[in-house]
A and B are shown apart, each in its own frame.
Chain A
Amino acid sequence: MIGRDLLGIEDLDRDEIERILDTAGHMCEIGTRDVKKVPTLRGRTIINLFFEASTRTRASFEIAGKRLSADVINFSPSSSSLKKAESILDTAKTLDAMDPDAVVVRHGVAGVPRRIADVLDAPVINAGDGAHEHPTQALLDCFTVRQVKGRIDGLTVTIVGDILHSRVARSNIHVFRKLGAEVRVAAPPTMIPADIEPTFGVKAFTSLRESLEGTDVVMALRIQNERLEGAFFPSVREYSATFGSDRAKLQYAKEDAIVMHPGPINRGVELSHDLADHRPSVILDQVRNGVALRMAVLYLFAGRPRAAAVAGGTG
């Protein structure tokens, strides 16, 4: 049913997404045990190939792999060593020769996990490629919503922040739409991607208040200071005033609306201090669920026997 690689939510259908979420639900229980380990991927090797630095996602994948008893290797080519002449595919092929059971790839440019998957035998899991997709983040986000709300169908989800440069936004748009939610995006006009409404079937807002009216989920994205240089917005102060969420602005949302953030949070910018730490924020649930979700992904995708993987084809 599921293809060989997990490159993006765009490639998954609703059944496949629900299968991953259901599996994650079972994996949660393992985190409550004393011995948080099962032997499922014992003797299997998972390589974290992170071209872009990341502590949280990498640690999450590492814990997930180890809880499944896999051997997890971290491989982080530093950006200085990746000279223009050195091909990413060379790096990937070198790793493939070590016979890994899964390669988890993060890269600053969209499309790299896909190119790597084209040349590897091992399954490839996208841990974030440029502004394109971050499937495990979106899956853990919607898993969290499903956990709290019981369902996704019919919900309204509002994603606030630099949509243009955000892979978390894109993957979440796909996952929530596929599961039947209505998705809204809110951002300064400079950060709304071209033609986003017809391309993704979402409603775009430049007014935070309007985007929050009657919404069930508020997902705040991290704003990056680098975007100041590209003249995308004038100052953190102004961003916070116009698009930062706090309890007052949350009044426009449904009474039982929840607040999410992929982390790390710029406190006082995207979210006020008290929203970051207290209910209705489910941010810590997101982190906790991240390990279970990534265990589910590794269980379903890693370690497939070569013959079956080839028969299944690429995802």
Chain B
Amino acid sequence: MTRILLRGGRLLDPGDDTDAVCDLLIEDGRIVGRGNDLRVEGATVLDVAGRWVAPGFIDLHSHLREPGQEYKEDIATGGRSAAAGGFTAVACMANTHPVNDDPATTDFILDRAEHDSPARVYPVAAATKGLEGKVMTEMAALVAAGARAFSDDGKTIMDSGVMRRVFEYSRLVDAPVITHAEDRTLVAGGVVNEGPVSTRLGLPGNPGLAEVVHISRDLMLARATGAHLHVAHVSTRGGVEQIRMARDLGVHVTAEVTPHHLTLTDEEALEFDTNAKVAPPLRSADDRDACRAGLADGTLDAIATDHAPHALHEKELDFREAPPGMIGFETAVGVTLELVRSGELAPLEWVRRLSTHPARILRVAGGTLARDSIADVTIVDPERAWIFDPAKGFSKSGNSPWAGRALVGRATHTIVGGRLVYDLERGILT
């Protein structure tokens, strides 16, 4: 019997709207109780006074690059980076080599994760074979193998007829379809947000319109088919508005937003820093503000990192050739706490969007610290000041605009299934 007592922390449980200082007791992988001044025999005691104690954070969107591109990241290093960021679980996208469009690949990923990753890994399988946007994948078989959702993320299903069928078919397995909404014919080679920045830099612009048009399309298709549409990395005011309107009409839509779209703007690219190149691109200040408001009022349900590692030699290519994306596991907490400090989000609501809502969207356990729930717990020091140095991080890659920048807020302990897998002092614990 293993017991862990978390003493004196501020318990934030969106499951029952608790926000109070109290102790939490974990036994054999489950939450068994809470109270004040608990005395328990034989328990490892973690003094978490001044820290926040939350249900484990779940990242709905990440790229672990294995199989096929292990030079950027693999499930082991990705899993460690996630745990170091306070994530007890991550969903990983299917744009690997080979694409995860087959139960064998899903199986491989789960097997790797089981052995090498301190954080849980939920594979998102491809919606269409080879991500080609033509023939849908064997959703039933993939769900049976362990896939939790379907997405062609990295690419977009341009054929609306195919998109419709994918939505319809997904009802068979009751899994969310996650869309990377960008009309590629409107993107037309754009590499930065279309606007004053693209005009100044003379770089091809990617208009917000490309996202809004496809979010609208997908919402209408989801509405007609009754599918669960989950919109990935919303970045535009128009996108947020469309989702809000559709929600009012009863469409089963959920949505996520990244830490970078909540805090950075397209001006980040003014120095031609390819670490600011991401898809969808960083947008205007107005778009960023709309995303923050959307997250606060619940239109956007969750924060998801879209952790996308790329090697240094790839990011050193020119702005057109460099692949888009940034790592995000280890900076998510420090970056998004900005919204709590500004008063836009209460701490409990911040936790809800990192834990409870993602669990509900993926239909997995988690997001609550109720008695008998699995003991996935994230402990955060919201005041901790630190400088993010990718060289000291656990990811193989360092492509982040926050490299070298000061952040406030950091996960200090990560507990998965009742086992402490990470603490700030000692790092990853195997």
Contact = CB atoms under 8 A, between A and B. Distances in A.
Interface stretch (B107-115, B192-200, B222-230): B192-200
Given A109-B321, A132-B202, A193-B198, 13 more contacts: A10-B200, A84-B317, A108-B320, A109-B203, A111-B203, A114-B271, A129-B202, A130-B202, A130-B320, A194-B195, A195-B199, A198-B196, A230-B188
B319 A110 contact: yes
B205 interface: yes
B196 A89 contact: no
Nearest to A114: B272
Interface string B308-328: 000001001111110000000
Interface string A119-146: 0000000000111110000000000000
B320 A109 contact: yes
Given A114-B271, A200-B199, A109 B194 contact: no
A199 B313 CA distance: 33
A194 B321 CA distance: 23
A112 interface: yes
A194 B203 CA distance: 12
Interface string B233-246: 00000000000000
Contacts of A184: none
Contacts of A199: 196, 199-200
A94 B321 CA distance: 21
Interface in A191-211: 193-196, 198-200
A194 B318 contact: no
B202 A87 contact: no
B318 A107 contact: yes
B272 A170 contact: no
Interface of B: 188, 194-196, 198-205, 207, 271-272, 313, 316-321
Nearest to B204: A131
16 contacts: A88-B318, A89-B316, A107-B318, A108-B320, A109-B203, A109-B321, A110-B201, A110-B202, A111-B203, A114-B271, A130-B202, A193-B198, A193-B199, A195-B199, A198-B196, A230-B188
B313 A85 contact: yes
A48 to B, nearest CB: 18
B205 to A, nearest CB: 6
A261 interface: no
B200 A133 contact: no
Contacts of A87: 313, 316-317
A132 B205 CA distance: 12
Nearest to A89: B316
Interface of A: 10, 84-85, 87-89, 107-112, 114-115, 129-133, 167, 170, 193-196, 198-200, 230
A188 B272 CA distance: 28
A88 B188 CA distance: 24
Contacts of B203: 109-111, 130-132
A112 B318 CA distance: 6
A88 B317 contact: yes
Given A88-B317, A109-B318, A109-B320, A194 B202 contact: no
A105 to B, nearest CB: 11
Contact of A111 (B194, B205, B313, B319): B319
Nearest to A131: B202
Nearest to B321: A84
B196 A194 contact: yes
A115 B200 CA distance: 17
B72 to A, nearest CB: 13
Contacts of A89: 316
A199 B266 CA distance: 14
B331 to A, nearest CB: 24
Nearest to A84: B321
A167 to B, nearest CB: 6
B319 to A, nearest CB: 5
Contacts of A108: 320
B362 to A, nearest CB: 35
Contacts, number: 69
B316 A133 contact: no
A89 B272 CA distance: 14
A174 to B, nearest CB: 10
Nearest to B203: A110
A280 B198 CA distance: 34
A196 B202 contact: no
A130 B198 CA distance: 12
Nearest to B269: A111
A170 B195 CA distance: 15
A111 B198 contact: no
A83 to B, nearest CB: 10
A115 B205 CA distance: 20
A61 B112 CA distance: 57
A136 to B, nearest CB: 16
Contact of A194 (B205, B271, B272, B319): B205
B161 to A, nearest CB: 23
A91 to B, nearest CB: 11
Q: Counting chain A CB atoms within 10 Å of each CB, which of B195, B313, B317, B318 scores highest?
A: B318
A254 B272 CA distance: 40
Contacts of A130: 202-203, 320
B196 A133 contact: no
Contacts of B207: 194
Contact of A195 (B195, B202, B317, B321): B195
A107 B316 CA distance: 15
Nearest to A112: B318
A198 B202 CA distance: 16
Contacts of A230: 188
Contacts of B319: 109-111
A239 to B, nearest CB: 20
Q: Counting chain B CB atoms within 10 Å of each CB, which of A85, A111, A194 scores highest?
A: A111
A199 B194 CA distance: 12
A192 B272 CA distance: 22
Contacts of B200: 10, 170, 199-200
A200 B199 CA distance: 9
Q: Counting chain B CB atoms within 10 Å of each CB, which of A107, A110, A112, A129 scores highest?
A: A110
A133 B313 CA distance: 25
B399 to A, nearest CB: 14
Contacts of A167: 202
Contacts of A114: 271-272
B54 to A, nearest CB: 41
A115 B318 contact: yes
Contacts of B317: 84, 87-88
A24 B321 CA distance: 37
Q: Counting chain B CB atoms within 10 Å of each CB, which of A112, A195, A196, A230 scores highest?
A: A195
Given A88-B318, A109-B319, A111-B319, A194 B313 contact: no
